[in-house]
């Protein structure tokens, strides 16, 4: 009786892989005329400007502006000291290694490397890609240094040790980072982020989704909600923010997130909560096991 189930599971894997590859190829074809590693280039140039004593938030590439919080300058500093082409190459190799490490840690097959938000992130080179590996590993405290919003999963998961270490790092580096410049530019930076993300992909693009997404996060429990919170509810999110949900994905929610649809992450979070509820109800209604205990009648 298990053979048909196994066959259907394989069919599902093939269909999901085909969906991933189709969307990724379309995305790469669209990006073919754009420069690769645009985000990592922006981060390196912003950090280089800071190291020279200049304003990193004045750095831009056409319509893309550096907009990260001051602590994000710290992990980029060693790479910004290298020639730009070398720094970009090193960051790409590290990103690729981090991607495969994450797939292995989560028990996902290798073809998940074609998951479109992951492909998009690899092309753009945004440091976002390092957050899930850091949060899953022993250096979770470093994730909020790379991207400030990575503190949200730590808070929801009540990982106090990581939060305290990150806070201490923030306090120690406070005198050396350009917080004054950042705060003076905060209003403009927020506007630029909204424009660059075209309103974002979270529930805030369609505010009617906000309460439903919030209810879904509460319903799915703290652990899963910690991974879904940023894609579903953080403002001005971009496609690759969906990577934050990787530890809590199902094939269906991964398929939803594979399409770059505004509001899609909120819908996926709602679907994830419904799936969990359905599984729990199915488990409760399952008949008790009738397996024999090995003794003859």
pLDDT tens, position by position, 158-168 = 999 999 999 99
What band does 294 get if pLDDT is binned at 50, 70 and 90? Answer: very low
CB atoms within 10 A of CB 234: 18
Q: What are phi and psi of 177, to 5 degrees?
A: -100, 150
Does residue 199 carry a pLDDT above 90?
no
Q: Strands, DSSP E only, in 57-112?
A: 60-61, 64-65
Residue 133 CA to residue 266 CA, distance in Å, equals: 23
Q: What pLDDT, on the 0 to 100 scale, is given for residue 287?
A: 64
Instruction: Tell me the longest C-alpha to C-alpha distance in the chain.
Output: 84
Q: What pLDDT, on the 0 to 100 scale, is given for residue 64?
A: 85
Does residue 3 carry a pLDDT above 70?
no
Percentage, residues of the chain above pLDDT 70: 93
Q: What pLDDT, on the 0 to 100 scale, is given for residue 271?
A: 97
Q: Strands, DSSP E only, in the chain?
A: 60-61, 64-65
Q: For residue 56, how far is the Cα from the chain centroid?
A: 24
Local structure of residue 35 (DSSP, 8 states): P
Q: What pLDDT, on the 0 to 100 scale, is given for residue 290?
A: 46
Average pLDDT value for residue range 243-260: 96
CB-based contacts of 76: which residues, under 8 Å, 6+ apart? 43, 44, 46, 47, 127
What band does 284 get if pLDDT is binned at 50, 70 and 90? Answer: confident
Does residue 99 carry a pLDDT above 50?
yes
Does residue 175 carry a pLDDT above 60?
yes
Digit-coded pLDDT (tens) for 214-228: 999 999 999 999 999
Q: What pLDDT, on the 0 to 100 scale, is given for residue 254?
A: 97
What band does 8 get if pLDDT is binned at 50, 70 and 90? Answer: low
Average pLDDT value for residue range 73-89: 97
Contact 80, 51 (CB under 8 A): yes
Q: What pLDDT, on the 0 to 100 scale, is given for residue 295?
A: 39
CB atoms within 10 A of CB 151: 19
Residue 203 CA to residue 205 CA, distance in Å, equals: 5
Does residue 1 carry a pLDDT above 50?
no
Q: What pLDDT, on the 0 to 100 scale, is given for residue 296?
A: 37
Among candidates 176, 178, 170, 124, which has minimal Cα distance to 151? Answer: 170
170 vs 291, higher pLDDT: 170
Q: What pLDDT, on the 0 to 100 scale, is given for residue 191?
A: 83
Q: 191-195, 208-212, 246-250: lowest mean pLDDT where?
A: 191-195
Structure tokens at 100: 């495969």
Residue 80 CA to residue 48 CA, distance in Å, equals: 6
Does residue 108 carry a pLDDT above 90?
yes
Does residue 180 carry a pLDDT above 70?
yes
Residue 95 CA to residue 121 CA, distance in Å, equals: 9
Query: If you average pLDDT over every residue of the chain, what do you get?
Result: 91
Structure tokens at 236: 């001005």
Structure tokens at 166: 């990150």
Average pLDDT value for residue range 102-121: 96
Q: Judge if pTM exceeds 0.85.
A: yes
CB-based contacts of 231: which residues, under 8 Å, 6+ apart? 201, 202, 237, 241, 242, 244, 245, 257, 265, 268, 269
Q: Is 285 exposed, middle or buried (0-12, 13-18, 19+ CB in 10 A)?
A: exposed
Among candidates 97, 128, 120, which has minimal Cα distance to 20? Answer: 120
What band does 181 get if pLDDT is binned at 50, 70 and 90? Answer: very high
Among candidates 220, 195, 190, 213, which has minimal Cα distance to 265? Answer: 213
76-111 burial: b if 16+ Cβ within 10 Å, else e: beebbeeeeeebbeebbeebeebbeebbeeeeeeee
């Amino acid at each position: 009786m298990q053979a048909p189930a196994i066959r259907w599971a394989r069919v599902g894997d093939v269909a999901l892989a085909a969906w991933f590859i189709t969307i990724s190829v379309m995305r790469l074809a669209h990006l073919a005329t754009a420069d690769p590693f645009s985000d990592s280039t922006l981060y390196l140039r912003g950090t280089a400007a800071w190291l020279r004593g200049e304003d990193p938030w004045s750095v831009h590439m056409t319509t893309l502006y550096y907009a990260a919080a001051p602590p994000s300058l710290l992990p980029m500093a060693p790479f910004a000291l290298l020639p730009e082409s070398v720094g970009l190459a090193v960051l790409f190799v590290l990103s690729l290694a981090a991607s495969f490490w994450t797939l292995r840690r989560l028990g996902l097959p290798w073809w998940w490397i074609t998951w479109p938000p992951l492909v998009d992130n690899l092309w753009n080179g945004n440091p976002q890609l390092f957050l899930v590996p850091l949060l899953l590993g022993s250096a979770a405290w470093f994730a909020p240094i790379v991207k400030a919003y990575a503190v949200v999963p730590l808070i929801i998961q009540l990982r106090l040790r990581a939060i305290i270490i990150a806070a201490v790092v923030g306090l120690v580096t406070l005198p050396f980072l350009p917080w004054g410049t950042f705060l003076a530019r905060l209003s403009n930076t927020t506007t630029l982020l909204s424009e660059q993300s075209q309103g974002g992909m979270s529930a805030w693009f369609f505010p009617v989704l906000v309460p439903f997404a919030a209810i879904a996060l509460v319903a799915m429990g703290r652990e899963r909600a910690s991974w879904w919170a940023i894609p579903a509810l953080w403002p001005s999110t971009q496609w690759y923010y969906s990577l934050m949900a990787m530890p809590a994905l199902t094939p269906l929610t991964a398929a939803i997130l594979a399409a770059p649809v505004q509001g899609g992450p909120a819908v996926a979070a709602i679907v994830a909560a419904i799936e969990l509820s359905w599984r729990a109800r199915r488990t409760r209604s399952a008949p008790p096991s009738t397996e024999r205990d090995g003794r003859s009648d």
